[in-house]
Structure 1
Amino acid sequence: MKYDTNFKCIRNDVSPEEWQARVELAAAYRLVDHYGMTDLIYNHITVRIPGTEHLLINLYGMLYKEITASSFARIDSEGKVLWKPDTDYTINNAGYVIHGAIHKARPDVGCVTHTHTRAGMAVSAMKCGLLPLNQTAIRFNGHIGYHDYEGPAINLDERERIVQSLGEHDALIMRNHGLLTCGPNVQQAFNTLYQLEMSCRAQVDSMAARTDLSIPPADVLGRTAHLYRPGTRRPYGVLEWPAMIRLLEAESKASPFPYYAS
Protein backbone atom coordinates (compact mmCIF):
# COMPACT_ATOMS: atom_id res chain seq x y z
CA MET A 1 0.00 0.00 0.00
CA LYS A 2 1.29 3.45 -0.90
CA TYR A 3 0.55 6.02 1.81
CA ASP A 4 3.33 8.55 1.27
CA THR A 5 2.06 12.11 1.79
CA ASN A 6 5.00 14.13 0.43
CA PHE A 7 3.36 14.85 -2.91
CA LYS A 8 4.89 16.62 -5.90
CA CYS A 9 3.82 20.27 -6.23
CA ILE A 10 1.28 20.63 -9.06
CA ARG A 11 1.23 24.43 -9.25
CA ASN A 12 2.33 24.39 -12.90
CA ASP A 13 -0.15 21.65 -13.82
CA VAL A 14 -3.38 23.46 -12.91
CA SER A 15 -4.96 26.82 -13.71
CA PRO A 16 -4.05 29.87 -11.59
CA GLU A 17 -7.64 29.88 -10.29
CA GLU A 18 -7.46 26.26 -9.16
CA TRP A 19 -4.06 26.76 -7.56
CA GLN A 20 -5.30 29.75 -5.56
CA ALA A 21 -8.31 27.73 -4.42
CA ARG A 22 -5.98 24.92 -3.37
CA VAL A 23 -3.73 27.24 -1.36
CA GLU A 24 -6.67 28.86 0.46
CA LEU A 25 -8.25 25.46 1.17
CA ALA A 26 -4.97 24.04 2.51
CA ALA A 27 -4.67 27.08 4.77
CA ALA A 28 -8.16 26.42 6.14
CA TYR A 29 -7.25 22.81 6.99
CA ARG A 30 -4.11 23.94 8.80
CA LEU A 31 -6.09 26.59 10.72
CA VAL A 32 -8.70 24.05 11.80
CA ASP A 33 -5.83 21.96 13.16
CA HIS A 34 -4.27 24.99 14.88
CA TYR A 35 -7.51 25.86 16.68
CA GLY A 36 -8.15 22.31 17.89
CA MET A 37 -11.15 21.51 15.70
CA THR A 38 -9.92 18.25 14.12
CA ASP A 39 -11.09 14.66 14.64
CA LEU A 40 -8.16 12.36 13.76
CA ILE A 41 -8.37 11.87 9.93
CA TYR A 42 -12.11 12.55 9.69
CA ASN A 43 -14.26 15.44 8.41
CA HIS A 44 -13.89 17.67 5.40
CA ILE A 45 -13.59 21.17 4.04
CA THR A 46 -14.44 21.50 0.36
CA VAL A 47 -14.13 24.32 -2.14
CA ARG A 48 -15.56 24.82 -5.61
CA ILE A 49 -12.93 25.50 -8.27
CA PRO A 50 -13.87 28.92 -9.73
CA GLY A 51 -15.51 28.71 -13.15
CA THR A 52 -16.31 24.99 -12.81
CA GLU A 53 -18.65 22.61 -11.00
CA HIS A 54 -15.67 20.62 -9.72
CA LEU A 55 -14.75 20.41 -6.04
CA LEU A 56 -11.52 19.98 -4.11
CA ILE A 57 -11.64 17.59 -1.15
CA ASN A 58 -9.09 16.06 1.22
CA LEU A 59 -7.79 12.53 0.88
CA TYR A 60 -9.24 10.11 3.43
CA GLY A 61 -6.40 9.18 5.75
CA MET A 62 -4.37 12.38 6.07
CA LEU A 63 -4.08 14.55 9.16
CA TYR A 64 -5.14 18.16 8.69
CA LYS A 65 -1.62 19.29 9.62
CA GLU A 66 -0.23 17.21 6.72
CA ILE A 67 -2.43 18.70 4.03
CA THR A 68 -0.90 20.82 1.28
CA ALA A 69 -2.26 22.58 -1.78
CA SER A 70 -1.14 19.65 -3.96
CA SER A 71 -2.73 16.93 -1.82
CA PHE A 72 -6.41 17.47 -2.69
CA ALA A 73 -8.50 15.28 -4.96
CA ARG A 74 -10.59 16.95 -7.65
CA ILE A 75 -14.10 15.50 -7.95
CA ASP A 76 -17.12 16.23 -10.11
CA SER A 77 -20.67 16.98 -8.95
CA GLU A 78 -21.45 13.26 -8.69
CA GLY A 79 -18.43 12.46 -6.52
CA LYS A 80 -16.32 10.90 -9.29
CA VAL A 81 -12.60 11.39 -8.68
CA LEU A 82 -11.19 13.29 -11.67
CA TRP A 83 -7.66 13.58 -10.30
CA LYS A 84 -5.75 12.80 -7.15
CA PRO A 85 -2.11 12.44 -6.13
CA ASP A 86 -0.30 9.17 -6.76
CA THR A 87 -1.31 7.43 -3.56
CA ASP A 88 -3.60 4.67 -2.35
CA TYR A 89 -5.52 7.23 -0.29
CA THR A 90 -8.89 8.07 -1.83
CA ILE A 91 -11.88 10.14 -0.68
CA ASN A 92 -14.53 9.51 1.98
CA ASN A 93 -17.98 9.10 0.40
CA ALA A 94 -19.62 10.77 3.39
CA GLY A 95 -17.76 13.94 2.48
CA TYR A 96 -19.29 13.93 -0.96
CA VAL A 97 -22.81 13.19 0.32
CA ILE A 98 -22.82 16.14 2.70
CA HIS A 99 -20.69 18.66 0.85
CA GLY A 100 -21.70 17.76 -2.69
CA ALA A 101 -25.37 18.22 -1.87
CA ILE A 102 -24.82 21.76 -0.60
CA HIS A 103 -22.49 22.81 -3.42
CA LYS A 104 -24.95 21.48 -5.98
CA ALA A 105 -28.02 23.15 -4.44
CA ARG A 106 -26.41 26.44 -3.43
CA PRO A 107 -24.53 28.16 -6.29
CA ASP A 108 -23.74 30.98 -3.85
CA VAL A 109 -21.64 28.59 -1.76
CA GLY A 110 -17.97 28.29 -2.64
CA CYS A 111 -16.78 26.49 0.49
CA VAL A 112 -18.30 24.04 3.00
CA THR A 113 -16.81 22.95 6.34
CA HIS A 114 -17.85 20.11 8.63
CA THR A 115 -16.43 19.17 12.06
CA HIS A 116 -16.92 16.73 14.95
CA THR A 117 -15.52 18.79 17.80
CA ARG A 118 -16.16 17.95 21.45
CA ALA A 119 -18.15 21.14 22.07
CA GLY A 120 -19.95 20.94 18.73
CA MET A 121 -21.06 17.38 19.37
CA ALA A 122 -22.15 18.33 22.89
CA VAL A 123 -24.39 21.17 21.69
CA SER A 124 -25.67 19.03 18.82
CA ALA A 125 -27.06 16.64 21.46
CA MET A 126 -28.87 19.40 23.41
CA LYS A 127 -32.60 19.81 22.72
CA CYS A 128 -32.21 23.55 23.30
CA GLY A 129 -29.71 23.83 20.46
CA LEU A 130 -27.37 26.82 20.37
CA LEU A 131 -28.40 29.40 22.98
CA PRO A 132 -27.79 33.17 22.50
CA LEU A 133 -25.72 33.40 25.67
CA ASN A 134 -23.07 35.81 24.39
CA GLN A 135 -22.30 38.16 21.54
CA THR A 136 -20.57 35.46 19.51
CA ALA A 137 -23.53 33.08 19.76
CA ILE A 138 -26.07 35.85 19.15
CA ARG A 139 -24.50 36.21 15.72
CA PHE A 140 -26.33 32.97 14.81
CA ASN A 141 -29.69 33.87 16.38
CA GLY A 142 -32.30 33.21 13.69
CA HIS A 143 -29.55 32.35 11.22
CA ILE A 144 -28.79 28.69 11.84
CA GLY A 145 -30.43 25.45 10.73
CA TYR A 146 -30.81 22.05 12.43
CA HIS A 147 -30.71 18.63 10.81
CA ASP A 148 -31.90 15.51 12.65
CA TYR A 149 -29.52 12.58 12.79
CA GLU A 150 -30.13 9.80 10.26
CA GLY A 151 -27.02 7.72 10.85
CA PRO A 152 -23.63 8.02 9.09
CA ALA A 153 -24.03 10.30 6.07
CA ILE A 154 -23.65 7.74 3.31
CA ASN A 155 -27.24 7.68 2.04
CA LEU A 156 -27.68 9.74 -1.11
CA ASP A 157 -31.37 10.18 -0.25
CA GLU A 158 -30.34 12.29 2.75
CA ARG A 159 -28.79 14.97 0.55
CA GLU A 160 -32.07 16.75 -0.14
CA ARG A 161 -32.98 16.79 3.55
CA ILE A 162 -29.58 18.25 4.51
CA VAL A 163 -30.08 21.04 1.97
CA GLN A 164 -33.61 21.70 3.28
CA SER A 165 -32.35 21.83 6.87
CA LEU A 166 -29.63 24.33 5.95
CA GLY A 167 -32.02 26.50 3.90
CA GLU A 168 -30.50 29.90 3.18
CA HIS A 169 -28.35 29.84 6.32
CA ASP A 170 -24.57 29.61 6.42
CA ALA A 171 -24.49 27.46 9.56
CA LEU A 172 -26.05 24.11 10.44
CA ILE A 173 -26.06 22.02 13.60
CA MET A 174 -26.32 18.36 12.62
CA ARG A 175 -28.00 16.91 15.69
CA ASN A 176 -26.11 14.17 17.52
CA HIS A 177 -23.37 14.64 14.94
CA GLY A 178 -21.49 17.93 14.61
CA LEU A 179 -21.24 21.36 12.99
CA LEU A 180 -21.37 22.60 9.40
CA THR A 181 -20.78 26.03 7.90
CA CYS A 182 -20.59 27.41 4.39
CA GLY A 183 -19.87 30.64 2.58
CA PRO A 184 -19.03 32.17 -0.78
CA ASN A 185 -15.33 31.65 -0.11
CA VAL A 186 -12.90 29.86 2.20
CA GLN A 187 -12.35 32.94 4.33
CA GLN A 188 -16.00 33.41 5.26
CA ALA A 189 -16.74 29.70 5.76
CA PHE A 190 -13.75 29.32 8.09
CA ASN A 191 -14.59 32.43 10.07
CA THR A 192 -18.19 31.24 10.54
CA LEU A 193 -16.92 27.84 11.67
CA TYR A 194 -14.56 29.41 14.19
CA GLN A 195 -17.32 31.60 15.63
CA LEU A 196 -19.77 28.69 15.80
CA GLU A 197 -17.20 26.52 17.55
CA MET A 198 -16.41 29.27 20.08
CA SER A 199 -20.15 29.68 20.72
CA CYS A 200 -20.50 25.96 21.45
CA ARG A 201 -17.48 25.92 23.75
CA ALA A 202 -18.80 28.92 25.67
CA GLN A 203 -22.25 27.32 26.01
CA VAL A 204 -20.82 24.07 27.37
CA ASP A 205 -18.69 26.05 29.85
CA SER A 206 -21.61 28.24 30.91
CA MET A 207 -23.96 25.32 31.46
CA ALA A 208 -21.27 23.39 33.35
CA ALA A 209 -21.07 26.26 35.87
CA ARG A 210 -24.54 25.21 37.12
CA THR A 211 -25.81 28.73 37.64
CA ASP A 212 -28.72 30.71 36.22
CA LEU A 213 -28.05 31.86 32.66
CA SER A 214 -28.83 35.32 31.29
CA ILE A 215 -30.24 35.76 27.78
CA PRO A 216 -30.73 39.30 26.36
CA PRO A 217 -34.24 40.42 25.33
CA ALA A 218 -35.56 39.58 21.86
CA ASP A 219 -35.10 43.08 20.41
CA VAL A 220 -31.42 43.09 21.42
CA LEU A 221 -30.93 39.62 19.97
CA GLY A 222 -32.48 40.62 16.64
CA ARG A 223 -30.52 43.86 16.34
CA THR A 224 -27.24 42.22 17.27
CA ALA A 225 -27.72 39.30 14.88
CA HIS A 226 -28.47 41.76 12.08
CA LEU A 227 -25.32 43.76 12.77
CA TYR A 228 -23.24 40.58 12.49
CA ARG A 229 -24.71 39.42 9.19
CA PRO A 230 -22.22 39.33 6.28
CA GLY A 231 -22.60 42.55 4.34
CA THR A 232 -24.25 44.60 7.08
CA ARG A 233 -20.95 46.13 8.09
CA ARG A 234 -18.29 43.97 6.40
CA PRO A 235 -17.90 40.39 5.11
CA TYR A 236 -16.83 37.64 7.49
CA GLY A 237 -13.26 36.46 7.37
CA VAL A 238 -11.78 38.82 4.78
CA LEU A 239 -10.17 41.23 7.26
CA GLU A 240 -9.06 38.33 9.47
CA TRP A 241 -7.54 36.21 6.70
CA PRO A 242 -4.16 37.98 6.24
CA ALA A 243 -3.55 37.61 9.98
CA MET A 244 -4.42 33.92 9.75
CA ILE A 245 -1.92 33.50 6.90
CA ARG A 246 0.76 35.26 8.94
CA LEU A 247 0.06 32.82 11.76
CA LEU A 248 0.56 29.87 9.39
CA GLU A 249 3.69 31.40 7.90
CA ALA A 250 5.21 31.72 11.37
CA GLU A 251 4.19 28.18 12.32
CA SER A 252 5.63 26.69 9.13
CA LYS A 253 9.15 27.72 10.11
CA ALA A 254 9.06 25.31 13.06
CA SER A 255 6.82 22.63 11.53
CA PRO A 256 8.12 19.20 10.48
CA PHE A 257 5.34 18.99 7.88
CA PRO A 258 5.64 20.28 4.29
CA TYR A 259 4.67 23.90 3.72
CA TYR A 260 0.90 24.10 3.19
CA ALA A 261 1.15 26.21 0.00
CA SER A 262 3.12 23.58 -1.90
Structure 2
Amino acid sequence: MMNESLNTTRQRVSAAEWNVRVQLSAAYRLLAHFGVNDLTYNHLSARVPDAPNQYLVKPTTFMFDEVTASTLQKFDFDGQPFQEGPPSRGGAFVIHAGILAARPDVNVIFHTHTTANTAVSAQEEGLMMLSQHAMAFYKRIAYHRFGGFEFNLEQREPLLRDLGQYRYAILRNHGALVCGHSVPQTFVDHHFLEMACRAQVAALAGGRPVTTIEPEVCEYAAVQYEGIDPAKSGSKDWAACIRLLDRISPGYDE
Protein backbone atom coordinates (compact mmCIF):
# COMPACT_ATOMS: atom_id res chain seq x y z
CA MET A 1 0.00 0.00 0.00
CA MET A 2 2.85 2.40 0.81
CA ASN A 3 4.51 1.93 -2.58
CA GLU A 4 1.19 2.33 -4.36
CA SER A 5 0.66 5.67 -2.58
CA LEU A 6 4.14 6.86 -3.43
CA ASN A 7 3.79 5.85 -7.07
CA THR A 8 0.49 7.71 -7.26
CA THR A 9 2.14 10.89 -5.98
CA ARG A 10 4.89 10.68 -8.56
CA GLN A 11 2.49 9.92 -11.36
CA ARG A 12 0.17 12.83 -10.64
CA VAL A 13 2.79 15.59 -10.63
CA SER A 14 4.94 16.91 -13.45
CA ALA A 15 8.52 15.79 -13.98
CA ALA A 16 9.69 19.30 -13.01
CA GLU A 17 7.78 19.21 -9.74
CA TRP A 18 9.01 15.71 -8.95
CA ASN A 19 12.62 16.80 -9.47
CA VAL A 20 12.20 19.68 -7.01
CA ARG A 21 10.44 17.35 -4.55
CA VAL A 22 13.43 15.00 -4.62
CA GLN A 23 15.89 17.86 -4.16
CA LEU A 24 13.92 19.41 -1.31
CA SER A 25 13.48 16.11 0.53
CA ALA A 26 17.22 15.49 0.10
CA ALA A 27 17.96 18.90 1.62
CA TYR A 28 15.81 18.12 4.65
CA ARG A 29 17.59 14.79 5.19
CA LEU A 30 21.03 16.35 4.68
CA LEU A 31 20.42 19.12 7.19
CA ALA A 32 19.28 16.52 9.71
CA HIS A 33 22.48 14.56 9.09
CA PHE A 34 24.59 17.68 9.65
CA GLY A 35 22.79 18.46 12.91
CA VAL A 36 20.58 21.27 11.64
CA ASN A 37 17.21 20.50 13.19
CA ASP A 38 14.89 21.74 15.91
CA LEU A 39 12.47 18.87 16.55
CA THR A 40 9.48 19.35 14.21
CA TYR A 41 10.12 23.08 13.81
CA ASN A 42 11.77 25.00 10.97
CA HIS A 43 10.95 24.59 7.31
CA LEU A 44 12.59 24.40 3.93
CA SER A 45 10.29 25.32 1.07
CA ALA A 46 10.41 25.43 -2.73
CA ARG A 47 8.25 27.01 -5.39
CA VAL A 48 6.61 24.52 -7.76
CA PRO A 49 8.46 25.28 -11.02
CA ASP A 50 5.51 24.91 -13.41
CA ALA A 51 2.96 26.33 -10.95
CA PRO A 52 4.74 29.41 -9.53
CA ASN A 53 1.88 30.33 -7.18
CA GLN A 54 2.26 27.05 -5.31
CA TYR A 55 4.95 25.80 -2.94
CA LEU A 56 6.18 22.61 -1.31
CA VAL A 57 6.99 22.19 2.38
CA LYS A 58 7.24 19.38 4.92
CA PRO A 59 4.26 18.33 7.05
CA THR A 60 4.26 20.27 10.32
CA THR A 61 4.45 17.07 12.38
CA PHE A 62 7.54 15.70 10.61
CA MET A 63 11.14 15.95 11.68
CA PHE A 64 13.62 16.67 8.91
CA ASP A 65 14.90 13.10 8.60
CA GLU A 66 11.39 11.73 7.97
CA VAL A 67 10.72 13.74 4.82
CA THR A 68 10.37 12.06 1.42
CA ALA A 69 9.56 13.45 -2.00
CA SER A 70 6.01 12.13 -1.79
CA THR A 71 5.24 13.29 1.74
CA LEU A 72 6.02 16.92 0.97
CA GLN A 73 2.83 18.95 1.03
CA LYS A 74 1.73 21.49 -1.56
CA PHE A 75 -0.15 24.73 -0.90
CA ASP A 76 -1.06 27.91 -2.71
CA PHE A 77 -0.03 31.26 -1.32
CA ASP A 78 -3.39 31.61 0.42
CA GLY A 79 -2.56 28.46 2.36
CA GLN A 80 -5.03 26.20 0.59
CA PRO A 81 -3.83 22.59 0.37
CA PHE A 82 -3.56 20.37 -2.70
CA GLN A 83 -3.82 17.22 -0.56
CA GLU A 84 -6.13 16.10 2.19
CA GLY A 85 -5.57 18.03 5.37
CA PRO A 86 -5.79 21.49 6.90
CA PRO A 87 -4.64 24.76 5.32
CA SER A 88 -1.07 25.91 5.76
CA ARG A 89 -0.48 27.79 9.00
CA GLY A 90 2.22 29.08 11.33
CA GLY A 91 5.71 29.72 10.08
CA ALA A 92 5.23 27.87 6.80
CA PHE A 93 2.38 30.22 5.88
CA VAL A 94 3.57 33.46 7.48
CA ILE A 95 7.21 33.23 6.41
CA HIS A 96 7.46 30.93 3.40
CA ALA A 97 4.23 31.66 1.54
CA GLY A 98 4.67 35.35 2.29
CA ILE A 99 8.20 35.63 0.91
CA LEU A 100 7.52 33.46 -2.15
CA ALA A 101 4.44 35.53 -2.99
CA ALA A 102 6.29 38.83 -2.58
CA ARG A 103 9.60 37.84 -4.18
CA PRO A 104 9.30 36.24 -7.65
CA ASP A 105 13.11 36.13 -7.77
CA VAL A 106 13.12 33.64 -4.88
CA ASN A 107 12.31 29.97 -5.47
CA VAL A 108 13.65 28.33 -2.32
CA ILE A 109 13.69 29.31 1.36
CA PHE A 110 15.56 27.72 4.27
CA HIS A 111 14.60 28.88 7.75
CA THR A 112 16.59 27.32 10.59
CA HIS A 113 17.36 27.73 14.28
CA THR A 114 20.78 26.28 14.99
CA THR A 115 22.82 26.86 18.12
CA ALA A 116 25.32 28.87 16.07
CA ASN A 117 23.01 31.06 14.01
CA THR A 118 20.78 31.70 17.02
CA ALA A 119 23.83 32.71 19.05
CA VAL A 120 24.97 35.12 16.33
CA SER A 121 21.44 36.51 16.07
CA ALA A 122 21.69 37.45 19.75
CA GLN A 123 25.07 39.18 19.43
CA GLU A 124 24.90 42.93 19.01
CA GLU A 125 27.41 42.98 16.14
CA GLY A 126 25.44 40.45 14.13
CA LEU A 127 27.50 38.48 11.62
CA MET A 128 31.13 39.55 11.86
CA MET A 129 33.67 39.25 9.06
CA LEU A 130 35.90 36.73 10.83
CA SER A 131 36.12 33.93 8.25
CA GLN A 132 36.06 33.33 4.53
CA HIS A 133 32.66 31.70 4.94
CA ALA A 134 31.29 35.07 6.10
CA MET A 135 32.48 36.89 2.98
CA ALA A 136 29.46 35.92 0.88
CA PHE A 137 27.21 37.89 3.22
CA TYR A 138 29.19 41.13 3.52
CA LYS A 139 26.66 43.99 3.42
CA ARG A 140 24.27 41.52 1.84
CA ILE A 141 22.37 40.31 4.88
CA ALA A 142 19.26 41.80 6.47
CA TYR A 143 18.38 41.96 10.16
CA HIS A 144 14.87 41.44 11.47
CA ARG A 145 13.93 42.30 15.05
CA PHE A 146 12.21 39.58 17.06
CA GLY A 147 8.51 40.27 17.51
CA GLY A 148 7.33 36.97 18.91
CA PHE A 149 6.80 33.59 17.32
CA GLU A 150 5.91 34.04 13.64
CA PHE A 151 2.53 32.37 13.97
CA ASN A 152 0.30 35.33 13.11
CA LEU A 153 -0.25 36.96 9.73
CA GLU A 154 0.39 40.49 11.01
CA GLN A 155 4.02 39.47 11.57
CA ARG A 156 4.57 38.89 7.85
CA GLU A 157 4.77 42.52 6.72
CA PRO A 158 7.57 43.55 9.13
CA LEU A 159 9.61 40.55 7.98
CA LEU A 160 9.09 41.37 4.30
CA ARG A 161 9.98 45.01 4.96
CA ASP A 162 13.21 44.11 6.75
CA LEU A 163 14.21 41.46 4.21
CA GLY A 164 13.73 43.92 1.35
CA GLN A 165 15.60 42.65 -1.70
CA TYR A 166 18.16 40.72 0.31
CA ARG A 167 18.41 36.95 0.05
CA TYR A 168 19.82 36.39 3.53
CA ALA A 169 18.62 37.49 6.94
CA ILE A 170 19.57 37.16 10.57
CA LEU A 171 16.38 36.95 12.61
CA ARG A 172 17.33 38.57 15.90
CA ASN A 173 17.18 36.22 18.92
CA HIS A 174 15.63 33.66 16.60
CA GLY A 175 17.71 32.17 13.80
CA ALA A 176 18.50 32.60 10.12
CA LEU A 177 16.80 32.83 6.75
CA VAL A 178 18.41 31.93 3.41
CA CYS A 179 16.61 32.44 0.10
CA GLY A 180 17.79 31.23 -3.29
CA HIS A 181 17.12 30.30 -6.88
CA SER A 182 17.47 26.54 -6.54
CA VAL A 183 17.67 23.92 -3.80
CA PRO A 184 21.36 23.08 -4.40
CA GLN A 185 22.38 26.76 -4.38
CA THR A 186 20.36 27.53 -1.24
CA PHE A 187 21.75 24.47 0.50
CA VAL A 188 25.34 25.61 -0.12
CA ASP A 189 24.54 29.23 0.86
CA HIS A 190 22.99 27.97 4.09
CA HIS A 191 26.07 25.84 4.73
CA PHE A 192 28.35 28.87 4.30
CA LEU A 193 26.23 30.95 6.68
CA GLU A 194 26.16 28.17 9.25
CA MET A 195 29.95 27.74 9.04
CA ALA A 196 30.42 31.50 9.40
CA CYS A 197 28.22 31.50 12.52
CA ARG A 198 30.00 28.51 14.03
CA ALA A 199 33.39 30.12 13.39
CA GLN A 200 32.23 33.36 15.02
CA VAL A 201 30.90 31.64 18.12
CA ALA A 202 34.11 29.63 18.45
CA ALA A 203 36.37 32.65 17.91
CA LEU A 204 34.56 34.80 20.46
CA ALA A 205 34.49 31.95 22.95
CA GLY A 206 38.27 31.97 23.04
CA GLY A 207 38.28 35.14 25.10
CA ARG A 208 41.10 36.67 23.06
CA PRO A 209 41.07 39.61 20.61
CA VAL A 210 39.85 38.64 17.13
CA THR A 211 40.93 39.90 13.73
CA THR A 212 38.29 40.98 11.22
CA ILE A 213 38.86 41.05 7.47
CA GLU A 214 39.37 44.44 5.84
CA PRO A 215 36.22 45.94 4.21
CA GLU A 216 37.79 46.12 0.74
CA VAL A 217 38.73 42.45 0.90
CA CYS A 218 35.24 41.56 2.14
CA GLU A 219 33.63 43.38 -0.79
CA TYR A 220 36.02 41.80 -3.28
CA ALA A 221 35.28 38.32 -1.96
CA ALA A 222 31.52 38.98 -1.87
CA VAL A 223 31.60 40.02 -5.54
CA GLN A 224 33.60 36.90 -6.33
CA TYR A 225 30.91 34.79 -4.68
CA GLU A 226 28.13 36.64 -6.50
CA GLY A 227 29.86 35.89 -9.79
CA ILE A 228 29.17 32.20 -9.47
CA ASP A 229 26.45 31.13 -11.91
CA PRO A 230 23.33 30.38 -9.80
CA ALA A 231 22.54 27.46 -12.11
CA LYS A 232 25.89 25.90 -11.22
CA SER A 233 26.26 27.13 -7.66
CA GLY A 234 26.49 24.18 -5.34
CA SER A 235 26.53 21.59 -8.12
CA LYS A 236 29.83 19.97 -7.10
CA ASP A 237 29.02 19.94 -3.41
CA TRP A 238 25.39 18.99 -4.01
CA ALA A 239 26.38 15.97 -6.10
CA ALA A 240 28.73 14.83 -3.33
CA CYS A 241 25.99 15.31 -0.73
CA ILE A 242 23.56 13.23 -2.80
CA ARG A 243 26.11 10.41 -2.95
CA LEU A 244 26.41 10.66 0.84
CA LEU A 245 22.65 10.60 1.26
CA ASP A 246 22.27 7.56 -0.98
CA ARG A 247 24.64 5.74 1.37
CA ILE A 248 23.29 6.82 4.74
CA SER A 249 19.60 7.71 4.22
CA PRO A 250 18.04 6.03 1.20
CA GLY A 251 14.34 6.53 0.54
CA TYR A 252 14.31 10.33 0.41
CA ASP A 253 13.46 10.13 -3.30
CA GLU A 254 10.40 7.91 -2.89
TM range (shorter): over 0.9
1:135-157 CA distances to partner (integer Å, 9 max, x unpaired)? 10122111111000010102212
Q: Does the 8 Å contact 1:33/1:64 carry over to 2?
A: yes
Alpha-carbon spacing, 1:144–1:230, altered in 2? closer, same or farther (3 Å)? farther
Question: Which one-letter code corresponds to 1:261 in the other structure?
Answer: D
Query: Residue 67 of structure 2 aligns with which residue?
Result: 67
Distance 1:98 1:242 in 2: 29
SS of the residue aligned with 2:220? helix
Q: Does the 8 Å contact 1:182/1:188 carry over to 2?
A: no
1:26-81 CA distances to partner (integer Å, 9 max, x unpaired)? 00101110111100111100000012110011101111111100101110011111
1:164-215 CA distances to partner (integer Å, 9 max, x unpaired)? 2122222110001101101011111111111111111110000000000001
Distance 2:103 2:4 in 1: 32
TM-score, length-scaled by structure 1: 0.90
Q: Does the 8 Å contact 1:44/1:114 carry over to 2?
A: yes
Distance 1:11 1:186 in 2: 19
Alpha-carbon spacing, 1:68–1:232, altered in 2? closer, same or farther (3 Å)? closer
Alpha-carbon spacing, 1:35–1:185, altered in 2? closer, same or farther (3 Å)? same
Displacement after TM superposition at 1:94 (Å): 1.7
Equivalent residues in 2 for 1:31-46 (5 A)?
Answer: 31-46=30-45
Alpha-carbon spacing, 1:230–1:116, altered in 2? closer, same or farther (3 Å)? farther
Query: Residue 225 of structure 1 aligns with which residue?
Result: 222
1:108-162 CA distances to partner (integer Å, 9 max, x unpaired)? 1110010011111111111100000011012211111100001010221222221
CA RMSD for the aligned pairs? 2.0
Equivalent residues in 2 for 1:203-218 (5 A)?
Answer: 203-218=200-215
Query: Residue 57 of structure 1 aligns with which residue?
Result: 57
Query: Residue 134 of structure 1 aligns with which residue?
Result: 131
Question: Which one-letter code corresponds to 2:75 in the other structure?
Answer: I
Q: Does the 8 Å contact 2:45/2:108 carry over to 1?
A: yes
Query: Residue 82 of structure 1 aligns with which residue?
Result: 82
Equivalent residues in 2 for 1:1-262 (5 A)?
Answer: 8-9=5-6, 10-52=9-51, 53-84=53-84, 91-231=88-228, 235-252=232-249, 259-262=251-254
Question: Which one-letter code corresponds to 1:260 in the other structure?
Answer: Y
SS of the residue aligned with 1:114? strand
Q: Does the 8 Å contact 1:39/1:117 carry over to 2?
A: yes
**Count of residue pairs brought into register by the alignment:** 250
Question: Which one-letter code corresponds to 1:216 in the other structure?
Answer: I
Distance 1:232 1:212 in 2: 37
Q: Does the 8 Å contact 1:146/1:165 carry over to 2?
A: yes
Q: Flag structure 1 segments of 5+ consecutive residues without an equivalent.
A: 254-258
Displacement after TM superposition at 1:6 (Å): 8.8
Distance 2:199 2:163 in 1: 23
Question: Which one-letter code corresponds to 1:160 in the other structure?
Answer: E
Question: Which one-letter code corresponds to 1:8 in the other structure?
Answer: S
Query: Residue 256 of structure 1 aligns with which residue?
Result: none
Indicate the structure with greater helix content: 2
Distance 1:6 1:176 in 2: 42
Q: Flag structure 2 segments of 5+ consecutive residues without an equivalent.
A: none
